[in-house]
Structure formats: C-alpha cells, structure tokens
Amino acid sequence: MKKSKSISSSESRMTVERLLSILDSISDGVMTIDLDMRVTYFNRTAEMITGVIKDDAIGIKCNDVFNIHDNECALYQLLKTGKPVNNHFISSTDSNGHRAPINVSTALLRDNQGKIIGGVQTFRDLNHVEVLRKKLSSSYTFTDMIGRSQQMQEVFETLPKIAKSDSTVLIEGETGTGKELVAQAIHQYSHRRNKPMICVNSNAIPDSLCESELFGYKAGAFTDAKKDKKGRFTMAEGGTLFLDEIGHISPMLQVKLLRVLQDHVYEPLGSTKSVEADVRIIAATNRNLDKLMESGDFRQDLYYRLNVIRIKVPPLRERLEDVPLIIDHFISRFNHLKYKDISGISLAALNILMSYHFPGNVRELENIIEHAFALCAGGEIRTEHLPKYLQEKRPEPVVGITGSMKEMETLFFNTALKRNIWSRQDTARELGISLSTLYRKIKKLGLSPPPSGRTIR
C-alpha cells in the first residue's frame, strides 16, 4: 500500500509539472488570483505581455499588473458578480507609459467541493492587430502621442476636456510636432467621432481653387462646372473639419471663413441659397498669427473666432527627455510593419539623437528611425545606421547619457525620486505610473533613499 501511495504521489507531481510546462508554452498569458485579488500564478507569456517578472507579480493585486482601476479589471468584476467574462478589451499601461490593447477572458476557480477559491484570466496582446489596423485605416488616436515631459502632460490633461466641447480650436506648433495627431485625438474623443473628420492643407491648394474646395459649387458656376460638387464643409457635416496651415489662406477666403464661424452658414459657388454648417472647426498653424495680424496679412476678427481654445504643441528640442520613449515607440511600430526584430538603439546612437535639435521635430525623428530600419538587419540601431548628416555631427555630452541602459534607467528614476523628496506616491503620480510599478522599479534597480532622505509610501 505504501508503495502504491508513493507511485501515486510521484505521478501527481509529474502531472502538475507537465501542466505548468504546458501553461508556460502557450501563446496566451495566464494568471490566477485568490479571493483577495492577489496573483497566485503567472505564466511565461504573461511576463512577456505585461513586462512584469513572475516573482514580482506573485502576491500583488491583479489590477496592478495592468495598471488599471478595480472597475476596469475583469477579475474584479468576476469575483464581484460571479459571471465569467469573454473577449473583454482593456488598455494596459506598461512601466514606460506605453498603452497596449489586451483581450481578456475570465473564469472562476473552485476546489474539489465546488467552493470558489479565486479566478483565472487568460489574455492576449493585440498590439500587432492594432498596428495593422492603423496601417490600413490611418486612424490615429490619443494613445499615439508619446511623452512624459511636463509640456506634453499638460496637453494630454486638457485634450479630453476640449474634446467634450464644440468650441473652435487653434493648434500652434512647428512643422512635424504632431498637430494633426492632436486634432484627430480631439475628434476621436468627441461626440462627433462617428462622423467624418476631413483634413484640408490650406497651403497645398491654390487660392483660385480653395473656395470651391471648401464650399463646393453648383453646376454652371463656371465653364467646366457640369455638375454639382460637394465641398469639404459638406463632406464633414456632423463631424470635424481640420484646417491645417490656416495662416496661408488668402484675405478673400478669410472673409468667407469668418462668416461660417459667425453665422454657421456658407454658400457654394454659383448658389444664392445659404447652407447650414454643423461642423466643428479645428485649425492649425506653424506661423505666428500675432505677427501676421500686425502686418495686416491675417484678419484680427477671424483670429479671435479661431482662437477660442488654444493648444501649443512644443517642439521636440524643448522636450528631449521624451526622445528615448518616442524612439522606443517607433522601433516597436516598425518592427511590426517591416517584420523585423530590432531590439533597441545603442548608447552612442542615442547620444547623437539626444544632442540633436530636430528642426523637423517628431516627424523627422520618425524618418530617422525608418532610415535606420532600412540599414539595420537586426540587433541594435547603431551610429552607422543613422543618416549621414547625423553621423557627421560631434554630439555634445548629454547629462545622464553615459553607461549602460540600466544605468540610464537608474538615473531617470533616482532623479525623479529625489525631485519628489523620495515620496513614492508623488513620484508615481508625476511619472504617470502605478505605485506598484514604481516599487518594482525601485527593487529591480536597487534604489534606496539617502540616510537623511524622507520616505513616504
């Protein structure tokens, strides 16, 4: 009998080990929790999707793994209601502030007597699906704007509030800073998101055609007008009209645009009947409209009609601390689009980019990384993969860009903690990460406050 029990116990252990091996080999993340919502099991794929090490995950609350609130957590809802969740979508935020779409399903865990002892969640990273969707639809949202700098955080905080309004918005910023992304985010988060967003580059349309492009025309309005043509205002009905490079429009068109903003009506060319315009206008410019007003090239009354809500998108040279995050974002995107596996960027190449002033801003940085992808077969992006004009520059030493990537990360978090007098809560709030993520970083990097440092949990 004793021998039989021994064999049974051995087989049981082998069964458990085999089961754990299978769970570690599947392509979905698997996580189990107890009744206190604390993680009891975390497979290898779960580590890869979340970026959280298994040893760090065990024992923490499940919502902290994904940096989400309780009411967004499918496992929390499962234990609260007892109802399993299938194919539920959440937006998870990793320790670098990148947001990724995750598909989750849940089920209750019971013991041999049928008593509920916790829950299990399987989840799948849909980031590659999202990248392909955006490639096909060119639909970009708020989550595509990257930045931890104070300037970008201020922009991020105001966008959801602005989106709820129907007021006209004026976006100012240099070429390539992402003004159209801001406009798209406002539209996507507004009540008009199910209607069209029509973009017009005012500088790309000749003055002679700009009026007909915006307002359309009736058949017979001029010699070649054989049938009616819809203008951009009609195409954007119920949605948003984005007028890029607004500082380039002619004085005549300024008068007609002013009427639309004042009276919400316009007349197609060749028509005597006014058409009502249910369109939200977002304008953008890389020119100084104040100086254009002083010189008489831009109407003051139109400026004040456009400048109801004003957003300034900072140039990249004023937020260089965002450069590593944006580089990581572009590397991830191009890895998916170009079917490559570039692991990152070398310290020397990053040093060059961190000391560059980026006259073309984020768009130029994107082109630089795409250029590097064409030359880099694998591994890290190195200096020889950068465009020639960057290789020829001798970068000035950048504070903190020395040593290994771990040393750079250590400097980043240590500086943030010192800035907040070692208050974990204040530091996590400033960096936009969860408290548990910050604790994991402190543990991983071996950070500790100086003897006189104030420690607040």
Q: What is the mean pLDDT of residues 304-331?
A: 89
Examine residue 290 and state whether it is found in any structural domain, yes or no: yes
Beta bridge partners, 266, equal: 275
DSSP symbol at 321: G
Say what the pLDDT of residue 401 is: 42
Instruction: Quick: pLDDT tens for 384-429.
Output: 999 999 987 655 544 444 444 565 667 667 767 877 778 888 787 7
Q: Are residues 300 and 201 in the same domain?
A: yes
> Is the confidence at residue 111, as pLDDT, over 70?
yes
Grade residue 119 by pLDDT with cuts at 50, 70 and 90. Answer: very high
Say what the pLDDT of residue 294 is: 92
Q: Are residues 153 and 242 in the same domain?
A: yes
Examine residue 457 and state whether it is found in any structural domain, yes or no: no
CATH classification at residue 258: 3.40.50.300
CATH classification at residue 350: 1.10.8.60
Q: In the chain, what percentage of residues exceed pLDDT 70?
A: 82
Phi, psi values for residue 125, rounded to 5°: -75, 120
Q: Are residues 290 and 422 in the same domain?
A: no
Q: Are residues 305 and 327 in the same domain?
A: no
Grade residue 198 by pLDDT with cuts at 50, 70 and 90. Answer: very high
Identify which of 176, 181, 179, 140 has the alpha carbon closest to the alpha carbon of residue 362. Answer: 176
3-state SS track over 59-93? CCEHHHHCCCCHHHCHHHHHHHHCCCCCCEEEEEE
Say what the pLDDT of residue 260 is: 92
Could you identify the residue written with the tokens 């399903």?
105
Say what the pLDDT of residue 455 is: 43
Q: Are 50 and 66 in contact (CB under 8 A)?
A: yes
Q: What is the mean pLDDT of residues 159-169?
A: 92
Examine residue 396 and state whether it is found in any structural domain, yes or no: no
Say what the pLDDT of residue 93 is: 61
Q: Are residues 435 and 363 in the same domain?
A: no
Say what the pLDDT of residue 279 is: 95
Least confident among 150-164, 360-374, 436-450: 436-450
Identify which of 225, 227, 226 has the alpha carbon closest to the alpha carbon of residue 209. Answer: 225
Domain finish residue from 91, 125, 159: 125
The structural domain count of the chain equals: 4
Instruction: Quick: pLDDT tens for 246-255.
Output: 999 888 889 9
Could you identify the residue written with the tokens 């100012």?
172
Query: pTM of the prediction?
Result: 0.59
Say what the pLDDT of residue 140 is: 38
Say what the pLDDT of residue 331 is: 87
> Is the confidence at residue 359, as pLDDT, over 80?
yes
Q: Are residues 308 and 321 in the same domain?
A: no
CA separation for the pair 139, 35 (Å, rounded): 40
Q: What is the mean pLDDT of residues 359-366?
A: 95
CA diameter of the chain: 104
Q: Are residues 189 and 290 in the same domain?
A: yes
> Is the confidence at residue 129, as pLDDT, over 60?
no
Q: Are 261 and 168 in contact (CB under 8 A)?
A: yes
| Averaged pLDDT score across all residues of the chain | 81
Q: What is the mean pLDDT of residues 217-227?
A: 68
Q: Are residues 53 and 171 in the same domain?
A: no
Say what the pLDDT of residue 6 is: 47
Say what the pLDDT of residue 50 is: 81
CA separation for the pair 280, 388 (Å, rounded): 44
Grade residue 453 by pLDDT with cuts at 50, 70 and 90. Answer: very low
Which range is most confident: 11-20, 92-101, 160-169, 208-217?
A: 160-169
Least confident among 9-23, 33-47, 64-78: 9-23
Token readout for 377 is 């077969």
- Relative to beta strand 169-172, strand 309-312 is parallel
> Is the confidence at residue 361, as pLDDT, over 90?
yes
Q: Are residues 279 and 426 in the same domain?
A: no
Say what the pLDDT of residue 226 is: 67
Say what the pLDDT of residue 414 is: 74
Say what the pLDDT of residue 123 is: 87
Say what the pLDDT of residue 354 is: 85
Could you identify the residue written with the tokens 């936009």?
432
Identify which of 206, 202, 269, 262 has the alpha carbon closest to the alpha carbon of residue 234. Answer: 269
* Element containing residue 131 per DSSP (H, E): helix 127-137
Grade residue 308 by pLDDT with cuts at 50, 70 and 90. Answer: very high
Q: Determine the structural domain holding residue 45 and report its residue range.
A: 2-125
Q: Are residues 158 and 210 in the same domain?
A: yes
Measured in whole angstroms, the distance separating CA 61 from the mean position of its chain's CA atoms is 25
Q: Are residues 48 and 177 in the same domain?
A: no
